[in-house]
Amino acid sequence: MAASTRRPVGSLLMNFGICCSHLSKLSSNVSRQVLSRQLSVSSVLHRKNLAAAGPEKFSEEFIKKQVEEYNMGKRHLANMMGENPETFTQQDIDRSIAYLFPSGLFDKKARPLMKHPDEIFPKQQAVQWGVDGRPFHFLFYTGKQSYYSLMHIEHL
């Protein structure tokens, strides 16, 4: 973009006695400023505050789908290892994964893993409502019941 505007502006400024070397420095500085503005604006637009979002929520359908995939994968792994799929336990799964995917990774979190979805995904607390449709907890509508209840107790 800056290269296309250099010639007409350069010829115009040469008539007024401005050197082309100053023009090239000026145009490169302007293009750097425009690029830095675009980068800073785009990073601000795409940034998310993950800490303020709280823990990630998983729906019941997602958990059911994960359980089905786990059971299918467990059955397939048992067939690959020549075991009975009905009596294939979690210890057998761990042993099979260690055999099929030997890993020299020292960090245990980086190693391959196949666990039941109930162990991987955190349990969601079900909202408890009364018969009349009101929530049981008096600080429900604050959005952070545990924080405000702690502040309420500390204030008393």
Residue 49 inside a domain? The answer is no
Name the amino acid, one letter, at 59.
Answer: S
Specify whether 114 is located in the same domain as 129.
no
Specify whether 114 is located in the same domain as 131.
no
What phi and psi, each to the nearest 5 degrees, are found at residue 53? -70, -25
Q: Which domain holds residue 110?
A: 60-120
For 110-134, write each residue's pLDDT tens digit: 888 899 998 888 777 666 777 887 8
Residue 55 inside a domain? The answer is no
For 61-86, write each residue's pLDDT tens digit: 899 999 999 999 999 999 999 999 99
Name the pLDDT band for 43 (thresholds 50, 70, 90): very low
Q: Which two tokens stand for residue 2?
A: 């800056």
CA dihedral defined by 143, 149, 150, 153, rounded to 10 degrees? Answer: 160
Residue 73 inside a domain? The answer is yes
Residue 84 inside a domain? The answer is yes
Specify whether 116 is located in the same domain as 149.
no
Q: What's the 3-state SS for 81-92?
A: HCCCHHHCCHHH
Specify whether 87 is located in the same domain as 70.
yes
Specify whether 66 is located in the same domain as 112.
yes
For 133-147, write each residue's pLDDT tens digit: 788 777 877 878 788
Specify whether 115 is located in the same domain as 73.
yes
* Number of helices and strands in the chain (H, E): 7, 0
- Residue 62: closest CA among 129, 113, 118: 118
**Which are the contacts of 129, defined by CB distance < 8 A and separation ≥ 6?**
135, 136
Number of domains within the chain: 3
What is the three-class DSSP state of 72? helix
Specify whether 111 is located in the same domain as 129.
no
Specify whether 109 is located in the same domain as 66.
yes
Residue 51 inside a domain? The answer is no
pTM of the model: 0.49
Residue 136 inside a domain? The answer is yes
